[in-house]
Amino acid sequence: MPGLMEKLGLKPGVIYGDDVYNLFKYARETGFAIPAINVTSSSTAAAALEGARDSKAPIILQVSNGGAAFFAGKGISNDGQKASVAGAVAAAHYIRSIAPVYGIPVVLHTDHCAKKLLPWLDGMMDADEAFFKEHGVPLFSSHMIDLSEESVDENISTTAKYLKRAAPWKQWLEMEIGITGGEEDGVNNEDVDNNSLYTQPEDIWQIQQALSPISRYFSIAAGFGNVHGVYQPGNVKLQPDLLAKHQAFVAEKLGGDEKKPVFFVFHGGSGSSVDDFRTAIGHGVVKVNLDTDLQWAYLSGHRDYITSKIEYLKTQVGNPDGPGKPNKKFYDPRVWVREGEKTMKARVQQALDDFKATNTL
């Protein structure tokens, strides 16, 4: 039975425009979602790519503002978003270069961009525009603009402005309505009113009305109680069935045959239950953000290796096998960094299973 690459005519590597649209549409129709993995280095990117390849699934790789600055190097000043722009562009070129070798379709995305970070998005879109003029595609498959802390009108009007810029390149734009709680990458929403975590169907329809005439290449991260990070059981009350109400509201307004006309995104996926994931996916979620769980997975491999080999890591020469035995083969970064990649890869594969994306290629 042909998989999605044959059905959609996708080639390995980073995909753009209609290929991104068709992938998300196929995911929505067939009932799976694609994990969006925050990467901060070539190592974390390789771990995610390897996991998706071995699970025969597409993957979304994304960089956050802080992750992009880290990719550039912490020794670079981020005045004027200089490091975050340079790091995001460097990550994009690296992923574009290496992704085809893994034989899978990859969506290259950037994560939350709040109002104060818009110069970062401007700089990346400048790079997109320059790349498009030379290659016929933007540098990034998609970006995310997050003005959920602003008024609904400002959120939508500003998002529309950026979508107009992206439209000639057929670049996807993800936006957020309804605040995601918790803390991530320096943005702290741990004390927001719980009512702010739940989006109303009228807001979804207002977005659809404003953005659809500009471009069809957009998705909505609607709040249904989502929280960044991992917390004690019972602290997070997700209501993914709200997405069904949003879909029905928009479908009725549109009056067509499409029962799920909206592309939804699930933010704050770490720590959520498989039932919540699959319920949300059934209501049109095509992308699920995972970061905290992947950070823990990456650390776990390093931690377990170092604790198990600690007697070989205290000196360059001398270990339990003898006072003159060298330890280079134990402290070589290619050894212990690889252990983190293995555990991160396994967590990516678990997510692909949870989201029903495994063996879709």
- Which tens digit of pLDDT belongs to each residue from 117-156? 999 999 999 999 999 999 999 999 999 999 988 999 999 9
Set 18, 54, 111, 321: catalytic member: 111
Distance CA 98, CA 14 (A): 9
Note the pLDDT of residue 179.
56
Note the pLDDT of residue 133.
98
Note the pLDDT of residue 190.
44
SS (H, E, C) 161-219: HHHHHHHHHCCEEEEEECCCEEEECCEEECCCCHHHHECCHHHHHHHHHHHCCCCCCEE
Note the pLDDT of residue 270.
67
150-188 per-position pLDDT tens digit:
999 999 999 999 999 999 999 999 999 975 544 445 444
Report helix, strand or coil for 317: strand
Note the pLDDT of residue 227.
65
Residue 321 falls in the annotated catalytic set: no
Note the pLDDT of residue 196.
53
Q: What parts of the chain have a pLDDT lower than 70?
A: 179-197, 226-236, 269-271
Distance CA 14, CA 23 (A): 12
Note the pLDDT of residue 239.
83
Q: What is the phi/psi pair of residue 145, to 5°?
A: -110, 130
Note the pLDDT of residue 325.
97
Q: Is the pTM of this model over 0.85?
A: yes
